[in-house]
């Protein structure tokens, strides 16, 4: 049959319609706004997936806890009712105990140390451990080093934190460490936090600069102390329901896309840290930049005996030895 312009156009329309019907839209959720570091990472990840699969897969973003808190979203991905989540490790340890070790206070020296650990054998083994728990860890991304904010007083040393009621994640490792500073840890889901700070239900909270910026905590917190007490990784997690339907080529696309998303997220964390302190000062926050870190390290030292029993002194030492 001779192809006329009309039949060519009809065939093209049918091909487009077929492609559109074959497209799978993945539900991607995260706790902070789309213009945050999470949004940047998730957008690059999703764009790379669309490009690598010729638009057979696309993403629908659900930022700002639209699908629930991180714990609820991890559970939904595990159950297959949500396709992907970008989450901190805070609540992830409740599902995958192997990742809790990364939440030990003052475990990581700096960003280079943390990133090398997660991108190396130790971090990759932790990603693999997620599969046995019904989760597919695609790549380690980043939240950043966590700092303390509160509405009561400046925190210059560990003794200044004593008695403050601080919101923490539902994370036993964090809570054990923070108790050594005299903090009264109060676990609370992130979506409830802003209101709790506003109403004085808790005195303060602790999060990396990108999260403090994105969540606009400067509106309800007067004091920021750059304690850097915990490094907070983030991770891109995919539902096994999706992963098990992918062919090998698509699995590679998803994995490589996640690595590119992670790189974009880390860059945004760097950028937020570089500009964020000045922005928060302009918003009226009083910032303690030179915190007595040794006082916090000395305070938390006794908890390391507990951490060694739980995680193994050799595993902790292996992380500390990464150069």
The CA distance from 161 to 168, in Å, is 14
Q: Report phi then psi at 165, rounded to 5.
A: -85, 110
Q: Are 223 and 156 in contact (CB under 8 A)?
A: no
Q: Are 153 and 33 in contact (CB under 8 A)?
A: no
Q: What is the pTM of this model?
A: 0.88
The CA distance from 33 to 147, in Å, is 20
Q: Are 191 and 211 in contact (CB under 8 A)?
A: no
Question: In degrees, to the nearest 5, what angle opens at C-alpha 266 toward C-alphas 87 and 65?
Answer: 30
Beta bridge partners of 150: 204, 223
The per-residue pLDDT for 3 is: 52
Give CA torsion, residues 207, 141, 97, 95, to 10 deg: 90
The CA distance from 265 to 141, in Å, is 6
Q: Are 143 and 230 in contact (CB under 8 A)?
A: no
Beta bridge partners of 24: 57
Domain ranges of the chain: 23-320
The per-residue pLDDT for 4 is: 56
Q: Which class is 23-320 in CATH?
A: alpha beta
- Enumerate helices (H) and strands (E) in the chain, giving the number of each: 14, 9
Q: Are 61 and 51 in contact (CB under 8 A)?
A: no
The per-residue pLDDT for 22 is: 66
The pLDDT tens digits along the chain (323 residues) read: 455 555 554 455 444 444 444 689 999 999 999 999 999 999 999 999 999 999 999 999 999 999 999 999 999 999 999 999 999 998 999 999 999 999 999 999 999 999 999 999 999 999 999 999 999 999 999 999 999 999 999 999 999 999 999 999 888 999 999 999 999 999 999 999 999 999 999 999 999 999 999 999 999 999 999 999 999 999 999 999 999 999 999 999 999 999 999 999 999 999 999 999 999 999 999 999 999 999 999 999 999 999 999 999 999 999 999 99
Handedness of CA 66, 202, 297, 274 (dihedral sign): positive
Question: Whose CA is closest to 181, among 233, 121, 227?
Answer: 227
The CA distance from 294 to 64, in Å, is 36
The CA distance from 162 to 155, in Å, is 9
């Amino acid at each position: 049959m001779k192809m006329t312009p009309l039949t060519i156009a009809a065939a093209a329309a049918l091909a487009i319609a077929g492609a559109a019907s074959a497209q799978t839209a993945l539900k991607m959720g995260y706790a902070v706004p789309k213009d945050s570091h999470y949004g940047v990472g998730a957008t690059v990840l999703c764009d790379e997936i669309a490009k690598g699969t010729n638009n057979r897969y696309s993403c629908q973003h659900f930022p700002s806890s639209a699908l629930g808190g991180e714990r609820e979203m991890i559970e939904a991905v595990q159950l297959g009712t949500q396709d992907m989540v970008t989450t901190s490790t805070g609540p992830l340890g409740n599902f995958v105990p192997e990742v809790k070790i990364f939440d030990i206070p003052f475990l990581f020296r700096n960003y280079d140390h943390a990133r090398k650990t997660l991108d190396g054998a130790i971090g990759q083994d932790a990603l693999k451990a997620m599969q046995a728990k019904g989760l597919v860890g695609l790549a380690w991304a980043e939240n950043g080093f966590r700092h303390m904010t509160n509405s009561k007083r400046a925190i210059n040393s560990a003794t200044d934190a004593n008695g403050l009621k601080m919101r923490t994640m539902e994370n036993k490792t964090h809570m054990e460490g923070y108790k050594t500073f005299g903090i009264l840890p109060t676990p609370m889901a992130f979506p409830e936090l802003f209101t709790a700070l506003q109403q004085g239900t808790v005195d303060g909270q602790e999060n990396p600069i990108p999260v403090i910026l994105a969540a606009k905590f400067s509106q309800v917190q007067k004091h920021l102390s750059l304690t850097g007490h915990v490094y907070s990784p983030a991770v891109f997690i995919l539902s096994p329901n999706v992963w098990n339907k992918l062919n090998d080529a698509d699995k590679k696309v998803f994995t490589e896309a996640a690595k590119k998303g992670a790189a974009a997220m880390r860059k945004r964390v760097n950028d937020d840290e570089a500009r964020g302190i000045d922005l928060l000062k302009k918003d009226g926050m009083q910032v303690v930049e030179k915190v007595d870190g040794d006082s916090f390290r000395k305070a938390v030292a006794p908890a390391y005996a507990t951490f060694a029993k739980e995680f193994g002194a050799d595993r902790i030492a292996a992380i500390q030895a990464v150069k």
